Protein backbone atom coordinates (compact mmCIF):
# COMPACT_ATOMS: atom_id res chain seq x y z
CA UNK A 1 0.00 0.00 0.00
CA UNK A 2 1.31 3.41 -0.96
CA UNK A 3 1.74 6.00 1.79
CA UNK A 4 0.33 9.48 1.13
CA UNK A 5 3.01 12.09 0.60
CA UNK A 6 1.35 14.65 2.83
CA UNK A 7 2.71 17.42 0.67
CA UNK A 8 0.84 20.57 -0.30
CA UNK A 9 2.52 22.78 -2.87
CA UNK A 10 -0.07 25.45 -2.17
CA UNK A 11 1.84 28.43 -3.56
CA UNK A 12 2.64 26.62 -6.82
CA UNK A 13 -0.93 25.40 -7.27
CA UNK A 14 -2.45 28.81 -6.56
CA UNK A 15 0.02 30.49 -8.92
CA UNK A 16 -0.73 27.94 -11.68
CA UNK A 17 -4.48 28.55 -11.35
CA UNK A 18 -3.99 32.33 -11.41
CA UNK A 19 -1.88 32.13 -14.58
CA UNK A 20 -4.69 30.20 -16.27
CA UNK A 21 -7.18 32.85 -15.18
CA UNK A 22 -4.95 35.68 -16.43
CA UNK A 23 -5.17 34.26 -19.96
CA UNK A 24 -8.96 34.39 -19.99
CA UNK A 25 -10.81 37.24 -21.67
CA UNK A 26 -13.32 37.95 -18.92
CA UNK A 27 -12.87 41.30 -17.27
CA UNK A 28 -13.51 40.03 -13.74
CA UNK A 29 -11.51 37.07 -12.50
CA UNK A 30 -12.23 35.25 -9.24
CA UNK A 31 -10.13 32.45 -7.75
CA UNK A 32 -11.53 30.23 -5.00
CA UNK A 33 -8.90 28.18 -3.17
CA UNK A 34 -10.15 25.27 -1.08
CA UNK A 35 -7.72 24.23 1.63
CA UNK A 36 -7.59 21.61 4.36
CA UNK A 37 -4.71 23.17 6.26
CA UNK A 38 -1.24 24.63 6.07
CA UNK A 39 1.21 24.11 3.22
CA UNK A 40 3.56 21.17 3.87
CA UNK A 41 6.46 19.77 1.85
CA UNK A 42 8.86 17.22 3.26
CA UNK A 43 12.23 18.83 3.86
CA UNK A 44 10.99 22.44 3.56
CA UNK A 45 10.46 24.53 6.69
CA UNK A 46 6.81 25.47 7.34
CA UNK A 47 7.64 29.18 7.71
CA UNK A 48 9.22 29.18 4.25
CA UNK A 49 6.12 27.62 2.69
CA UNK A 50 3.83 30.04 4.51
CA UNK A 51 5.94 32.96 3.24
CA UNK A 52 5.75 31.65 -0.35
CA UNK A 53 1.97 31.30 -0.16
CA UNK A 54 1.45 34.76 1.34
CA UNK A 55 3.68 36.36 -1.30
CA UNK A 56 1.94 34.45 -4.08
CA UNK A 57 -1.53 35.53 -2.94
CA UNK A 58 -0.45 39.18 -2.64
CA UNK A 59 1.06 39.08 -6.15
CA UNK A 60 -2.13 37.57 -7.57
CA UNK A 61 -4.34 40.14 -5.84
CA UNK A 62 -2.21 42.94 -7.32
CA UNK A 63 -2.90 41.48 -10.77
CA UNK A 64 -6.61 42.21 -10.20
CA UNK A 65 -7.64 38.61 -9.60
CA UNK A 66 -9.95 38.32 -6.62
CA UNK A 67 -8.73 35.53 -4.34
CA UNK A 68 -10.85 33.74 -1.72
CA UNK A 69 -9.57 31.11 0.70
CA UNK A 70 -12.04 28.45 1.79
CA UNK A 71 -10.86 26.43 4.77
CA UNK A 72 -12.47 23.03 5.22
CA UNK A 73 -12.29 22.07 8.88
CA UNK A 74 -9.42 24.53 9.37
CA UNK A 75 -9.07 28.27 9.82
CA UNK A 76 -5.54 28.29 8.35
CA UNK A 77 -6.89 30.28 5.38
CA UNK A 78 -7.18 33.33 7.63
CA UNK A 79 -3.39 33.52 7.67
CA UNK A 80 -3.03 33.61 3.88
CA UNK A 81 -6.18 35.02 2.31
CA UNK A 82 -7.63 38.45 3.02
CA UNK A 83 -11.01 37.12 1.84
CA UNK A 84 -11.73 33.84 3.57
CA UNK A 85 -14.32 31.58 5.11
CA UNK A 86 -14.04 28.52 7.32
CA UNK A 87 -16.32 25.52 6.99
CA UNK A 88 -16.38 23.28 10.06
CA UNK A 89 -18.91 20.67 8.97
CA UNK A 90 -18.58 18.84 5.66
CA UNK A 91 -22.35 19.01 5.26
CA UNK A 92 -22.02 22.81 4.97
CA UNK A 93 -19.54 22.82 2.08
CA UNK A 94 -21.95 23.24 -0.83
CA UNK A 95 -24.20 25.74 0.96
CA UNK A 96 -21.37 27.94 2.21
CA UNK A 97 -19.49 27.93 -1.09
CA UNK A 98 -22.63 28.82 -3.05
CA UNK A 99 -23.41 31.59 -0.55
CA UNK A 100 -19.87 32.97 -0.91
CA UNK A 101 -20.10 32.78 -4.70
CA UNK A 102 -23.45 34.56 -4.72
CA UNK A 103 -22.19 37.30 -2.38
CA UNK A 104 -18.99 37.73 -4.39
CA UNK A 105 -20.82 38.07 -7.69
CA UNK A 106 -23.18 40.70 -6.24
CA UNK A 107 -20.28 42.81 -5.01
CA UNK A 108 -18.44 45.16 -7.32
CA UNK A 109 -14.97 44.00 -8.28
CA UNK A 110 -12.00 46.11 -7.16
pLDDT, tens only, 56-102: 999 999 999 999 999 999 999 999 999 999 999 989 999 999 999 99
Across the range 28-57, mean pLDDT stands at 94
Cα separation, 70 vs 78, in Å, equals 9
For the chain, give every domain's residue range: 36-106
Cα separation, 30 vs 28, in Å, equals 7
| Confidence label for 1 from pLDDT (cuts 50, 70 and 90) | very low
Whether the predicted pLDDT of 106 surpasses 80: yes
Q: Residues with Cβ < 8 Å from 52, sequence gap 6 or more?
A: 10, 11, 39
Q: What is the pLDDT of residue 5?
A: 55
Number of Cβ atoms within 10 Å of the Cβ of 21: 17
Amino acid sequence: MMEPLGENYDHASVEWAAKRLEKRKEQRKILFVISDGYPAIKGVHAKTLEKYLKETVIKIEKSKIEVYGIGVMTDAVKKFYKNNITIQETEEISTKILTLLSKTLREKSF
